[in-house]
Chain A
Amino acid sequence: AQRVTQPEKLLSVFKGAPVELKCNYSYSGSPELFWYVQYSRQRLQLLLRHISRESIKGFTADLNKGETSFHLKKPFAQEEDSAMYYCAPQGNYGGSQGNLIFGKGTKLSVKP
């Protein structure tokens, strides 16, 4: 089965500190990779996709095919970054093909 692992359930940092949210996926090939975010009292929404190589709200995501990792990084965390973050690779075979596979999520808490 295609799996996604986000090893940290909770990540707490101080404002201005660098932050890295880890994500590993268990399958080979070149899946498309995405990060979704859910702010307090808001809906789950797309944050960024790897293929566009964009920086959204200061976040970037680094793909390491050898390690099958797709970590989300930001050099200087802000309090408004506090949210739940989900790594979501796109399935690339069988019944999962084309569908997103969500990790358990990491809750980021940025303290003042």
Chain B
Amino acid sequence: EADIYQTPRYLVIGTGKKITLECSQTMGHDKMYWYQQDPGMELHLIHYSYGVNSTEKGDLSSESTVSRIRTEHFPLTLESARPSHTSQYLCASSVGTVPYEQYFGPGTRLTVT
């Protein structure tokens, strides 16, 4: 089934740990995005990708990194988690020619203790 998946849905982890948030889509979309959203606040774009081997930083500076080795996969990595990284992370994808119609994943709620 064509969809966009995020794992894990919830993650509680200690300070200093390395984490990778997974995002995969089976819709064949070339453009993918990562947003960060604190409760009651805006979604902030932190990374996006136009396609394989393309990654760009978004509007909000983030200590995380991303990679796009395969079209369907866009993981986000934090080398050393800190409490300030506690947030919800949303992954989305879109057809490159229709970038405004983004399909969102269910999100990962990250808590760093």
Contacts and interface: CB of A to CB of B under 8 A. Distances in A.
A96 B102 contact: no
A101 B102 CA distance: 12
Contacts of B101: 46, 49
B74 interface: no
A46 B102 contact: yes
Nearest to A41: B106
B45 A45 contact: no
A104 B99 contact: no
A103 B42 contact: yes
Contact of A43 (B42, B45, B106): B106
A45 B106 CA distance: 11
B112 interface: no
Given A44-B90, A95-B59, A100 B42 contact: no
Contact of B43 (A32, A34, A102): A102
Contact of A45 (B42, B48, B99, B104): B104
A86 interface: yes
Interface residues of B, number: 24
Interface in A70-111: 86, 88, 90, 95-96, 98-105
Nearest to B106: A43
Contacts of A49: 100-101
Interface in A32-72: 32, 34, 43-46, 49
A104 B58 contact: no
A30 to B, nearest CB: 14
Contacts of B40: 9, 104-105
Interface in B62-105: 90, 92, 99-105
Given A44-B90, A95-B59, A100 B104 contact: no
A100 B90 contact: no
A44 B91 CA distance: 11
Contacts of B43: 44, 86, 102
Nearest to A96: B59
Interface of A: 1, 4, 9, 32, 34, 43-46, 49, 86, 88, 90, 95-96, 98-105
